Amino acid sequence: MTDMAIPVGEHGDSVVDTPEGPRSRGDRLLPYVFAGPALLVYAALVMLPLGHTFFLGFFEWSGGGPMDFVGIDNFIRIFTDSITMTAIKNNLIWAVLATIVPVSMALLLAVLLATQLPPGVRLFFSTVYYLPAILALAVSAIVWGWVYNPAWGALNALLDTVGLDGLERAWLGDPNIALYSVFVVSAWAYFGFCLIILLAAIQNVDPSLYDAAKLDGASAWKQFWHVTVPGIRNELNFVVLYTAIEAFRVFDLIYIMTGGGPFYQTEVIATSVYREAFVEHEVGYASAIASLMTIIIATLATIALRWRERTDPEAQ
Amino acid sequence: MTATLNTTLKWAVLLFFGVFALGPVLWMFMSAFKTTPEILTAPFSLPSEWRWQNIVRTWSEGGFSAYTTNTVIMTVPAVAISVALSTLGGYAFARFRFRGGSVAFFVLLYGLTVPFQALMIPLFYNFSRLGLINQYPGLIAALIAVHLPFGIFLMRSFFVNAQAEIADAARIDGCSEYGVFWHAMLPLAKPGILALTTIFFTDMWKAFLLPLILIQDDARRPLTLGLLFLRDAQGQQQYELLAAGVIIASLPTILLFLATNRYFQRGLVAGSSK
């Protein structure tokens, strides 16, 4: 890194030669003029509060009145508090499902859409699949709250119509299945995004690779496994990371559809933070949970980026 | 024979997920035109008559005219400012190497992973102290800040792809660095700016947790909070008003998405895969 503002091109090479020596003071300030406003806003409203949250995690504080320094007590409490541990367990289940279910749905549909189709059909389906993602999760939560309504919801009515009334249940009221019922909404909301990314990636795979595979007599399944999957490795890595990060942030759906209930059985980390901070007024404890959550997500992201660097020949 | 079977299967799968994606939304939209007894007793039948007045009632009596205004007041300035800041920031990271630049870039990269829950506690207490609770400027500033990492990455990727030679040509013609940005780079990045605008608009329109924390006054609730308020307030009657509220809350972004579909999808891909 230098202290001069050197314009760089795509590969980091200097775009502009400056044979006449040091550049003017104005030019050196240039990058800061462009990036400064964004970085200032970001520092004030993201970095600073983030640091503040980590700081608050070491105190007992009700949101008003005195703050008591308690060391790492709040962090220890996380692992002895059965409700928070349920929230963490639920969030891990959610994250595993979220990296598998919507991504698999998207992969299947992207492969089907990448085949020969009449013009316009591909765009039509990708638009339809993306539509749930256009809705606010708050809206989706209310829509699916209706679908799951035990008395007159669409799901029970549908099961009744097709003669499967034995399967009818209180989808959000049964502690054993409520979490999975809400998860279906999450898969519904996210598979379209994954699809758009993966479809674009599949369409960018060099067609001659498929021709070569066909000449070798590779089956469709083998072509998928040995040409498509390696060809879209980076995008797959991205959507898995994206859905995993979103999984650890999940809040709106749970908060609106079940409120963490019944009996805290659908609590996740984010709803715990909200409840502890703004309902129970355990601000220090809530901050400790939020700090842990941040560390988990940053660790995941680091692992994913490292893995990508190691396996991506272009990045080396 | 297998080929026909495969084609049939392919269409069956595509259609099945199409129904899965659209079904719940269309069902709710249809319910908005029914009466509550119809919703409860004949969930799948068409409304006995299309009661457009349900939408009007939600808009006026249900308070959705105010909720919609609030969402617009929140969204429009936040989109405009965050797109501007992202464009400038993305340009800086695409074109210059500068002291502190790689550290800032690294911090922004991790910014993509920071959950809002890790910011909301200090934001709430500091905003309370500053008298910014229930105030749009505070809400808008926070919305902008959390969207900057994605915006800067998207714009950076567009500027990196913009031809460096064009900037050189403009410089030879005697343009200053600012001139290069305005006259050569900005026009090239126009598709990126359009994509980012639509993505930010739909995303900020959907904001829920941020207003949930910062807005407590019913008169200033955006649509997302208004819907929840209506659901919890109405108890057992007038389900059609809630369904009509869902239409009001989601139609603007659906229409924007359909109108800018290609830009939107391209923008998502560009912002995500780099």
Confidence of residue A26 (pLDDT cuts 50, 70, 90): low
Contact B115/A294, CB-based, under 8 Å?
yes
pLDDT of residue B186: 85
pLDDT of residue B192: 86
Query: Taking residues A266-270, what's their average pLDDT?
Result: 94
d(CA A184, CA A46): 31
Contact B122/A48, CB-based, under 8 Å?
yes
Contact A256/B122, CB-based, under 8 Å?
no
pTM of the model: 0.88
Neighbours of B189 (CB within 10 A): 25
Alpha helices in A114-177 (DSSP H): 121-134, 137-147, 154-161
Contact B89/A151, CB-based, under 8 Å?
no
pLDDT at A19 over 60: no
> What is the set of domains in chain A, with CATH numbers?
73-315 (1.10.3720.10)
Q: Is B15 touching A (CB cutoff 8 A)?
A: no
Alpha helices in chain B (DSSP H): 2-31, 36-41, 53-60, 64-95, 101-111, 117-129, 136-161, 164-172, 177-179, 186-188, 190-205, 209-214, 223-234, 239-259, 261-273
Tell whether domain B61-273 is in CATH 1.10.10.10: no
The residue of B20, B96, B166, B264 whose CB has the most chain A CBs within 10 angstroms, and thus the best one to mutate to test that interface, is B96
CA distance B158 to chain A (A): 11
**H or E element that contains B176:** none
Q: Which residues of B touch A103 (CB under 8 A)?
A: none
Query: What three-state secondary structure class fits A14?
Result: strand
pLDDT of residue A261: 81
pLDDT of residue A9: 39
Q: Is B242 touching A (CB cutoff 8 A)?
A: yes
**H or E element that contains A181:** helix A178-203
Contact B142/A154, CB-based, under 8 Å?
no
* Best CA proximity match to B171, nearest among A26, A15, A32: A15
Contact A3/B86, CB-based, under 8 Å?
no
pLDDT of residue A127: 92
Q: What letter does residue B237 receive in the DSSP assignment?
A: S
CA distance B194 to chain A (A): 17
Query: Taking residues A215-226, what's their average pLDDT?
Result: 86
Average of per-residue pLDDT values in chain A: 87
- Considering only residues 45 to 84 of chain B, which have any Cβ-Cβ distance to chain A shorter than 8 Å? none
Q: Each residue of A14-31: b (16+ CB within 10 Å) or e? A: ebbeeeeeeeeeebbebb
Q: Is B254 touching A (CB cutoff 8 A)?
A: yes
